Amino acid sequence: DIQMTQSPSTLSASVGDRITITCRASQLISVWLAWYQHKPGKAPKLLIYQASSLESGVPSRFSGSGSGTEFTLTISSLQPDDFATYYCQQYNFYPPTFGQGTKVEIK
Amino acid sequence: QVQLVQSGAEVKKPGASVKVSCKASEYTFIDYFMHWVRLAPGQRPEWMGWINPKSGATNYAQKFQGRVTMTRDTSITTTFMELNGLTSDDTAVYYCARVRTGAYSYDDNWGQGTLVTVSP
């Protein structure tokens, strides 16, 4: 299976900060990568697909980039609603696999 | 908007089975594959398999083959995931998730999750 590694595992930040989360794949996955936001007790929410395509309804402060094996999720100005855990997922190879998550905490 | 509403939390004994339901609404049920994904405490999300609601065809992750069964009832736009031979390692939140395109794409809408606790 493709291994997905996110960094950092935890990120402490303040409202208004620009933050970046990195996701690395163990093999080339082209641009077949998605990012999800997850809050406790809630349904995960799709943010980005195909590495850089913003899902409809997702604020433009979220952006994704990368291809091949290295990808990033950037939040340009962190808002109170953004404190959550973020997961990357590759869907180029069967089975789909996820990163271990990055928890964004209030500093 | 798309809604996926799952059944409530379950507590099971080791060796038992659990069946989780996922009722879909506000879209054409048979037009989208459904994934099941679980999230165990301290672990990364784990993809369990897919079901094609139109045909009933399924594909399971190797780890769960022989222990999981995914079914659907088109008359009530509901998919089901049954997991047998439960152990404490199966304690997790189980999610259904609608697949955007085909069987192996990303998931654009998720259920709220069903907590399954396996405890003696």
- pLDDT digits (tens), chain B, 120 positions: 999 999 999 999 999 999 999 999 999 999 999 999 999 999 999 999 999 999 999 999 999 999 999 999 999 999 999 999 999 999 999 999 999 988 789 999 999 999 999 999
Predicted local distance difference test score (pLDDT) of residue B102:
84
Q: Please judge whether B44 and A99 are an interchain contact, meaning their C-beta atoms are less than 8 angstroms apart.
A: yes
Q: Is the pLDDT of residue A5 over 90?
A: yes
Predicted local distance difference test score (pLDDT) of residue B5:
98
The answer to whether the bond into A95 is cis (omega within 30° of 0) is yes
Distance from A91 to chain B by nearest Cα, in Å? 6
Q: What is the pLDDT of residues A85-106, one digit of tens each?
A: 999 999 999 999 999 999 999 8
Q: Give me the phi and psi of A44, to 5 degrees please.
A: -55, 150
3-state secondary structure of A100: coil
Tokens representing A40 are 């406790």
CA distance B32 to B54: 8
Predicted local distance difference test score (pLDDT) of residue A2:
96
Q: Please judge whether A43 and B112 are an interchain contact, meaning their C-beta atoms are less than 8 angstroms apart.
A: yes
CA distance A88 to A34: 6
Predicted local distance difference test score (pLDDT) of residue B103:
79
Q: Assign residue B22 a region (left: φ > 0; alpha: ψ between -120 and 50; beta: otherwise).
A: beta
CA distance B49 to B112: 18
Task: Say yes or no: B72 contacts chain A, CB-CB below 8 A.
Answer: no
Predicted local distance difference test score (pLDDT) of residue A26:
98
Predicted local distance difference test score (pLDDT) of residue B4:
98
Question: Burial, B44: exposed, middle or buried (Cβ in 10 Å; 0-12, 13-18, 19+)?
Answer: middle
For chain A, the average pLDDT equals 97
**Contacts B61 to A, Cβ<8 Å:** 95
Predicted local distance difference test score (pLDDT) of residue B7:
98
Task: Say yes or no: A91 contacts chain B, CB-CB below 8 A.
Answer: yes
Task: Say yes or no: A2 contacts chain B, CB-CB below 8 A.
Answer: no
Are B92 and B41 within 8 A, CB to CB?
yes
3-state secondary structure of B22: strand
Q: What is the pLDDT of residues A25-37, one digit of tens each?
A: 999 999 999 999 9
3-state secondary structure of A82: helix
Predicted local distance difference test score (pLDDT) of residue A45:
98
Per DSSP, the residues of A2-59 read --EEEE-SEEEE-TT--EEEEEEESS--TT-EEEEEE-TTS--EEEEETTTEEPTTS-
Taking CA atoms, what residue in A is nearest to B9? A41
**Where are the strands (E) in B42-113, listed by range?**
46-51, 58-60, 68-73, 78-83, 92-99, 107-110
